[in-house]
Structure 1
Amino acid sequence: MDDLAGFLRTRRSRVDPSAVGIPADSRRRVDGLRREEIAHLSGVSVDYYVRLEQGRATQPSEQVLDALARVLGLDDTEREHLYRLARQRKRRTKTPSARLRPELLRMLDLIDAPALIMNHRLDALAGNRLAELLYGRRLPGLNTAHHIFLEEAERGLYADWETCTRDAVGHLRLAVGKYPDDPRLASLIGELSMGSERFRKLWARADVRARTHGPKPYQHPLVGRLELHQENFAVPDDSGLELLILSADPDSPSADALRLLARLGEDHVPEPHVVDQL
C-alpha cells in the first residue's frame, strides 16, 4: 500500500530548487528536484538514488536517510515515516488487537465532554453519551474516514471538511507505514479510493500528518455551531489506541450548546450504525 520509493518520489517533486541553491531554469520539465540533484545534495551516487526510487535498493543506511530527510526538508512526522518505510522489509509491525480494557470504558463515562476511543484505522471502538449525540449514532459502528468521505448526508457535520479530509488521509498514511500487513486497513483504503475522488487525490500526494491536538469545529443539526478543541492521547500500551476528547472553552456558546445537546439527548437514543468491511 505504501513504500519508500513512492514516498521519495512525491517528496522530491515538492522541493523548490531555489530553496536548495539551484538557479531557476525555464527549461526545467519536472516539478521539484531531479534525481541527480537529490543524489548530489545527499552525497550518494545517482545510480544508488535511482535504485531507491525504483524500489531496487533495500535497507539504506541511517546516514543516507538523514541526508535525504535534510535535502527533502522533511518535518519530524515525515522523517519518522521515512525511517519506518525504509525498515519495513526488515521488521514488520504486528497489527494490534482491538481489545478494550474495562477500565478504559469506565473512564469514558467520567469525561464531561464528547470522548471516544479510536484505533489506527479511524474506527471508533467506543464513545461516551455526548460523543454519540455529537455524531448522531451509537458507538461503536463509526469509521470517521468513511463518515467524512463517503457519507454525503453527514458531510455537513464537519464545519471544516477540507481540513478533516487532509487529517484523515495523513493519519491513514501513517497507519499504513506502521501496519503494512493489516488487511482491514487495506480494504478501507480500497473502499475510500473507489468511492471518493477527493480521497484519491489526497492519497496520491502521500502526505503524512500526526494530528495530536487542535481546533475541531462542527455544525450540528440540533444545536448549531460547535467550536471544539480536540486532544489525542495515546493509550499507554501496545494496542495502538487513542483517546480523543473534544472540549469547549468554559462559558462559551459552544459549552452552552454541548449542555443543550446533552439535555436534548436525554430522551433520544441515537440509531445504531454499522459500516461494512471495517
Structure 2
Amino acid sequence: MAVQPTVRSRGGAQQARRTELAAFLRSRRARITPEDVGMPPGLRRRTPGLRREEVAQLAGVGVTWYTWLEQGRPINASVQVLDAVARVLQLDVTEREHLYRLAGIPFVPEPVSDVEAVGAEVQGVLDALCPLPAVVLNARYDVQASNVAYRTLWPMASMVERWERNIIYKLFTVPDCCSTIVNSSEEVPWMVAQLRRSYGRHVGEPAWESFIALLLKESPHFAQLWARADVAAPGRRVKIFRHQTVGTIELTSMSLSIDGMAEHRIVVYTPVAEEDRLRMQRLRDIDDPVIGCPVHGRPLSEVLADGARPTPSRRTA
C-alpha cells in the first residue's frame, strides 16, 4: 500500500514550530547551572540546570510568560525579550539564529570583523594563498573575508560598510564605464542564475527578500535577468578583468567548500597565462592605484580619505 504524504496546514506548522521552540528552550536551560550565572547552587534540585523562574528573573520577564513560551503556547515574543533569554541561556550565534527562527522573528546578526566572521583558521588559509586573490563568499555573494591580493584587485568590495560588501550589488550599481568585468555579458547572467538557485533555499527570509527587493529597485538590468528565472550551479569560470593602469587580466575562479560553514565557499583566482600573472604583480607593486574608469577614476588614497566613496553619485567595485 502506498503511503500518502502528510500535508501540514499552516496552523499545524506553527504548532510544530512552537513545540520545537519549547523543546529547544528546555534543553538549553538544562545545561546552564546556577554557578554559570553567578547564583548559589541551592538545595533540592531534582534536575540539573536553571529553573524556569530563575531564567525569567535573570531575563527580566514574567514567570508566567516564560512558562507559556517554554510550553509552546501561542504567544508573541519581541526581539528584546528573545535577546534577554538568549543572553541568560548563553546561546552562541548559531543557537540564537535557531531561537529566532523558531519564534518567527527575523534574525539580524551583530556586525563582526572578518576574522570573527570566518574564524582565524579560514582567514589564515586566505592569507596563505597570496599572491593568488582569494575571498570567502556566502550564498548571497556577500564578501565575508578576503586576502590582500583580492583587496588589491577589487578594493571597493572590501573597504565599504559591511552591508555593501556584496559582489552582486556592486556589479549592478556601478556605471557601465566603471565596470571591471570585460566578459560581463557572459558572467553576470550566470552569477544571477546562481543567486536564483541559492534564493530557492531562502524564499520568504527577510534578509534575502529585502536584498532582492533592493536590487530590483536599484537596477533594471538585474530585474530583467531576475525575471528569466534561470538557475545555475557553482563551477569553474574564466573571468576577464580590466584595470586602467595595467590592462586586462584573465583569471580562472575555483570554489572550495568550507567545513562547518554551510553555504559558504572560498573562491580562488589563478592567472590564466604568464602575462596575467605579471600584470597582477605590476598592480600589487603600485603604491596608489587609480580606482574606477578614466572618467571617474581617482587614486585609492583619495577614495579612502573621502570615506570609501569613489564618485559623488555612484559606487564602483
TM-score range, shorter chain: 0.5 to 0.7
Query: In structure 2, what is the equivalent of residue 203 of structure 1?
Result: 226
- Determine the C-alpha separation between the residues in 1 that align with 2:176 and 2:229: 27
Partner SS state of residue 212, structure 1: coil
Letter aligned with residue 115 of structure 1: A
Aligned residues: 182
More divergent stretch after superposition (149-158 vs 266-275): 266-275
Gaps of 5+ in 1: 1-93
Does the CA-based 8 Å contact 2:136-2:144 persist in structure 1? yes
Does the CA-based 8 Å contact 1:96-1:239 persist in structure 2? no
Query: In structure 2, what is the equivalent of residue 136 of structure 1?
Result: 155
Which of residues 215, 235, 240 is equivalent to 1:217? 240
**Cα offset, 1:117, TM superposition:** 0.5
Does the CA-based 8 Å contact 2:157-2:167 persist in structure 1? no
**Cα offset, 1:181, TM superposition:** 3.8
Which of residues 100, 103, 110 is equivalent to 2:121? 103
- Determine the C-alpha separation between the residues in 2 that align with 1:202 and 1:124: 22
Partner SS state of residue 107, structure 1: helix
Partner SS state of residue 180, structure 1: coil
**Cα offset, 1:154, TM superposition:** 6.7
- Determine the C-alpha separation between the residues in 2 that align with 1:157 and 1:179: 30
- Determine the C-alpha separation between the residues in 1 that align with 2:157 and 2:172: 19
- Determine the C-alpha separation between the residues in 2 that align with 1:128 and 1:171: 24
Query: In structure 1, what is the equivalent of residue 142 of structure 2?
Result: 123
Does the CA-based 8 Å contact 2:117-2:144 persist in structure 1? no
Query: In structure 1, what is the equivalent of residue 62 of structure 2?
Result: none
Which of residues 234, 257, 261 is equivalent to 2:283? 261
Letter aligned with residue 237 of structure 2: G
**Cα offset, 1:249, TM superposition:** 3.3
Which digits, 9 at most, give the CA deviation of each residue in 1:18-64, with x for residues without a partner?
xxxxxxxxxxxxxxxxxxxxxxxxxxxxxxxxxxxxxxxxxxxxxxx
Could you list the structure 1 runs, at least 4 aligned residues long, displaced by more than 3 angstroms after superposition. 94-99, 265-276
Partner SS state of residue 118, structure 2: coil
Partner SS state of residue 260, structure 2: coil
**Cα offset, 1:96, TM superposition:** 11
**Cα offset, 1:129, TM superposition:** 0.9
Does the CA-based 8 Å contact 2:251-2:276 persist in structure 1? yes
Partner SS state of residue 151, structure 1: coil
Query: In structure 2, what is the equivalent of residue 166 of structure 1?
Result: 189
- Give the root-mean-square deviation of aligned CA atoms: 2.9
Partner SS state of residue 208, structure 1: coil
What are the within-5 Å matches in structure 2 for residues 76-95 of structure 1?
none
Letter aligned with residue 118 of structure 2: L
Partner SS state of residue 200, structure 1: helix
Gaps of 5+ in 2: 1-105, 110-115, 290-299
Partner SS state of residue 179, structure 1: coil
Letter aligned with residue 221 of structure 1: Q
Partner SS state of residue 125, structure 1: strand
TM-score (norm 1): 0.58
**Cα offset, 1:221, TM superposition:** 2.3
**Cα offset, 1:138, TM superposition:** 6.1
Which of residues 177, 180, 184 is equivalent to 2:200? 177
- Determine the C-alpha separation between the residues in 1 that align with 2:264 and 2:177: 25
TM-score (norm 2): 0.51
Partner SS state of residue 232, structure 1: strand
- Determine the C-alpha separation between the residues in 2 that align with 1:125 and 1:245: 14
Does the CA-based 8 Å contact 1:125-1:139 persist in structure 2? no
Change (3 A) 1:169 1:134: same
Does the CA-based 8 Å contact 1:216-1:229 persist in structure 2? yes
Which digits, 9 at most, give the CA deviation of each residue in 1:200-230, with x for residues without a partner?
1111111001132110110112211001101
Letter aligned with residue 134 of structure 2: A
Letter aligned with residue 242 of structure 1: R
Change (3 A) 1:186 1:245: same
Change (3 A) 1:255 1:241: same
